[in-house]
Structure 1
Amino acid sequence: MNSEKETFQSKNYISKSIFYRFSQFVGFLIGARFFVAVLLTFALYVSTFFLFNQDETFRKFVFDFKVHGIIFCTVITILAGGIINQFYDLEKDHVVKPFRTRIQSFIKQKYFLYAYLALTVISLGVAWMISHKVFLFFIVYQFFMWFYSHKLSRLLIINNLTFVSLTLYPFFGMMVYYETFSRKVLLMAVFLFLILLCIDIVKDMLTKSVDKAFGYTTIPNYFKNKNTQIIIISLLIITIGVSMKLITKTGISGFMSYYFTGGLFVLILCIYLLINSTRRSKFFTLNILRFWVFVGIIAMLLNGIESKF
């Protein structure tokens, strides 16, 4: 009888241990924003090969280890940035993201900091092996990742502009690396910048009271809801103008032309939802814009496959 009881307790202990280790692993992935990093990696590869890389064949691109090294450093830096950001936003996340915070609680904060330092060193080490210019590029990137989390995320307007700029920074690096400067690429960059800026401001509208309680000076807190709506709608109207320029003036074709044409209707829908000014309509707007960014990546992939293969 005692033997059966001990066996049951042993199995129960093993099950709890496995669950605890699994929870730690999931908590780390969420804390490092692993899934965001995966999406950005996919977007970087798609944009690099199909937009910035105009001359290389697919075979040459596959064996261009310098490019893979830069993208690897970018992903590691994004993971490190996610960790340091959740470290500074921990109190706010307890209110805004209780489920995520609960999962992250399986790991002590000091281990997140150890992981941040390790990822930073790995990223800079690989960057140094690629070239001194790449090393400098990532020193700047990592500094502003930390400085945004430490200070800039609490400053009016600067927080939104810095967040969006840091999101696009790796894409700018690839554009410089391949020296791909054209009107089409510039307008596409402006389009993405405006969409991401709208997403960030709408997100701030949904966390307005929490941001105010924890000392984050955001556009919704400073300008109030009605003025914030006007700002976002104005940005969406400008984005519609950029889309029309891309369709009519750059000779864009294939799936990307369908994407920007369809985007006109999507942006008009978002404007309509924002005019309603309910929490639910803001939530729908946020997710529609996020989804449309993902659709853009897929459209670029399909467009590139159609043109290159």
Structure 2
Amino acid sequence: MNSEKETFQQKSNIPKSLFYRFSQFVGFLLGARFFVALLLTLALYVSTFFLFNQDENFRKFVFDFKVHGIIFCTVLTILAGGIINQFYDFEKDHIVKPFRTRLQSFIKQKYFLYVYLVLSVFSLGVAWMISHRVFLFFIIYQFFMWFYSHKLSRMLIINNITFVSLTLYPFFGMMVYYETFSKKVLLMAVFLFLILLCIDIVKDTLTKSVDKAFGYITIPNYFKSKNTKIIIVSLLIITMAVSMKLILRTGISGFMAYYFTAGLFVFILCVYLLLKHTTKSNFITLNILRIWVFMGIIAMLLNGLEGKL
């Protein structure tokens, strides 16, 4: 490993100190899944202001420091969760994500653990200052983040459900905070849960052999490929049914109506790709679904801006 680092450094003519500092910085960002946390932060702000927050104007929302504090704690917890997850999955990631693990190798694992502890404690400290209920909320969140990485990620079906639930946990917290309970919000939560579940299972099909070798019992390496496809296609069909329910029964309009309508064709395309039974089609499906989740955030933002203006 050291010879590889030196060779790369010599070829690129980068000063040693700068090379290592940059490699450590990038390795840390990838290890902590900083860009995932950034996307979730955007999604939290957009959903909080345009979906859960029905009464406050923009000025009041900007100065609602309690909400910003909760989102800040969420970001720190997500970063800490990414670090502890890569710590437990390091050997598996060495095969599945060699480039990322090579960059992470510039930082010793013990330093990742130190940062994990600092982020976790700081997040809980801020949560305690907000309220005891918020502190309890993040204690539960952090515990299951750790428990998922330590144990639940290796358990059949529970791994997928827990991963998706932890992704949606902050949004559930905001929904409770604003007491926004409606048929539309519930159906949108079900829609997002289903599409994230599909993404996680499709992702597992791409790492099937490695997961099996390292003792991760996933749907693709427990069931046959045909049964796995049936499960994913069934979930996509249910997601399409939820989309139709949102369009026809909740009075949803604007960009979100276009989003859910276009989503029907996107999911049909994904079903077609999945039925081809190739690794390439699975990879394309995975990225289409990921992009569609991002497009949902943009659609909600545009829809909200249209309604506020």
TM-score above 0.5, yes or no: yes
Aligned residue type for 2:211: D
Displacement of 1:241 in angstroms is 0.3
How far apart are the structure 1 equivalents of 2:149 and 2:118?
18
How does 1:117-196 map onto structure 2 within 5 Å?
A: 117-196=117-196
Partner deviation per Cα, 1:95-121 (whole Å, 9 max, x = no partner): 000000000000000000000000000
Aligned residue type for 1:126: V
Partner deviation per Cα, 1:90-148 (whole Å, 9 max, x = no partner): 00000000000000000000000000000000000000000000000000000000000
Aligned residue type for 2:245: K
Report SS of the residue matched to 1:298.
helix
Structure 2, unpaired ranges of 5+: 1-11
Distance 1:13 1:233, change over 3 A: closer
Aligned residue type for 2:265: F
Partner deviation per Cα, 1:9-55 (whole Å, 9 max, x = no partner): xxx99811011011101101100000000000000000000000000
How far apart are the structure 1 equivalents of 2:224 and 2:175?
37
- 1:20 matched to which residue of 2? 20
Aligned residue type for 2:185: V
Report SS of the residue matched to 2:224.
helix
What's the Cα RMSD here? 1.0
Report SS of the residue matched to 1:251.
coil
- 1:4 matched to which residue of 2? none
Pair member with larger Rg: 1
The number of residue pairs the alignment matches comes to 298
How far apart are the structure 1 equivalents of 2:281 and 2:232?
14
Report SS of the residue matched to 1:276.
coil
- 2:229 matched to which residue of 1? 229
Structure 1, unpaired ranges of 5+: 1-11
- 2:60 matched to which residue of 1? 60
Aligned residue type for 2:138: F
The runs of at least 4 consecutive aligned structure 1 residues that moved more than 4 Å come to none
- 2:291 matched to which residue of 1? 291
How far apart are the structure 1 equivalents of 2:154 and 2:271?
27
How far apart are the structure 1 equivalents of 2:22 and 2:236?
42
How far apart are the structure 1 equivalents of 2:25 and 2:240?
42
Aligned residue type for 1:76: L
Report SS of the residue matched to 1:55.
coil
TM-score by length of 1: 0.96
TM-score by length of 2: 0.96
- 1:78 matched to which residue of 2? 78
- 2:268 matched to which residue of 1? 268
Partner deviation per Cα, 1:132-184 (whole Å, 9 max, x = no partner): 00000000000000000000000000000000000000000000000000000
Report SS of the residue matched to 1:252.
coil
Displacement of 1:247 in angstroms is 0.2
